[in-house]
Amino acid sequence: MGIIIGLTYDAKEDCPVKQGQPIDFNAEMDPPDTIDEIIEALESGGHKVKKIGNFKNLLSQIDHLCVDIVFNISEGVFGRNRESQIPMLLEMRNIPYIGSDALTMGMTLDKMVAKKCFVVDNIPTARSFVANSAEDLDGFNGLSFPLIVKPCYEGTSKGITPASRVENVEALEEQVRFVNEQYQQPAIVEEFIKGRECTVVVLGNDSPKAMPVVQYEIDNQLDGDVFYTSEHVRKENVNYICPAEISDELTNQLQELAVKVYKSVGCRDFGRVDFRIDDKDNPYVLEINPLPCLAKKDTFSFVAKELNKSFEEMILWVLEEGLKRLKMTEQETEVCA
């Protein structure tokens, strides 16, 4: 007999893009297919899944959830604490859940807060500063063009367009203004790392394990100036290559760094670390995602294939890691009053 799992998520349809909002406003939210795929995967382990949905739904059901555990993939809607909201509510009610806690969600969603952890832990990351306005470019001192300008706390390449890579002060100011106005938040300005792009899934807790490295092929290129824009996300035209076409030495280095990053920010159960690698094989950590995309067409399936596992087994692996951390068995079932 399995357990009863509540699934918290933010569905795209609950959050349509409204007039005046950027076109990629709901890019992080999950389409119905992804939610169904995760439910099927959890059910394939003999568990029952109860769809809960977003924070509002969770709040309205919090006193009669009747689940053993919550599997949380909710991205939240507004602000840099949006991914922390569901974990925080569950913590308040002492309801066990799969995934990182509220603090890790907050400090990784804000890319600069996460980078401060990386610096303390000697993890290589591109030099950068935060710009609150186009006039607030004091941190620019010492950085070299080209730079990339990103929203400080978005994901899924939101706010990243071909214009995000800037070559001069004028373009830098314009792009900072674009991020501040369109995304209502500071911009993070970072040295642009020309080269290859890879990502590493990490699973587990006491001794987290790095999965085979996945490489991105962007515009049919594996190297150079290409980068992953919001339009690539919309058109789904980035290819995943696993194992990455890099040396064994670099593979090991990325895997070790990924685990170090995961521990640096206290990630739990699952996560994914994004890297750029320059032409001298120097890796730079861009960010860590404690809520990486779990859609079947995304990285997890490519990792699964390389490990001779199914997508469903990967999702059940995430669940198992959480249950182990919580010292829960797969047999327990909450008696619902």
Site residues, ligand ADP (CB under 6 A): 126, 148, 150, 154-158, 160, 190, 192-193, 197, 227-228, 274, 276, 286-287
- Interatomic CA distance for residues 263 and 107, integer angstroms: 13
Q: Cβ 244 to ligand ADP, closest distance in Å?
A: 14
Q: Which is nearer to ligand ADP, 221 or 329 (CB)?
A: 221
The residue to which tokens 């962007």 are assigned: 218
Q: Where are the beta strands (DSSP E) in 235-305?
A: 238-241, 270-277, 283-289
47 binds, among ligand ADP, Mg ion, none (CB under 5 to 8 A by kind): none
> What is the nearest approach in angstroms of Mg ion to the Cβ of residue 305?
21
Question: Quick one: 282 or 329, whose CB is closer to ligand ADP?
Answer: 282
DSSP state of 63: G
Query: At closest approach, how far in Å is the CB of 88 from ligand ADP?
Result: 21
The item of ligand ADP, Mg ion, none sharing an interface with residue 148, based on CB under 5 to 8 Å by kind, is ligand ADP
Closest to Mg ion by CB, 151 or 208: 151
Query: Is residue 243 reached through a cis peptide bond, with omega within 30 degrees of 0 on the bond before it?
Result: yes
Provide the minimum distance between the beta carbon of 321 and ligand ADP in the complex, in angstroms, as a whole number: 23
Separation of alpha carbons 261 and 282, rounded Å: 16
The interface partner of residue 228, options being ligand ADP, Mg ion, none and the CB cut-off 5 to 8 Å by kind, is ligand ADP
- The rounded distance, in Å, linking the Cα atoms of 290 and 134 is 30
φ and ψ of 23, to 5 deg = -60, -25
Could you give the CA distance from residue 151 to residue 220 in angstroms, rounded to a whole number?
Answer: 26
CB atoms inside a 10 Å sphere around CB 327? 7
Q: Of the two residues 129 and 192, which places its CB atom closer to ligand ADP in the complex?
A: 192
Q: Which two tokens stand for residue 287?
A: 């960010």
Give the ranges where 185-269 is alpha helix by DSSP (H): 230-235, 248-264
Question: Nearest approach, Cβ of 148 to ligand ADP (angstroms)?
Answer: 5
Is 274 a binding residue for Mg ion by CB under 5 A? The answer is: yes
Site membership for Mg ion, residue 321 (CB under 5 A): no
The amino acid sitting at 85 is Q
Write down the least CB distance from residue 197 to ligand ADP, Å: 5
The residues that touch Mg ion, with contacts defined as CB under 5 A, are 274
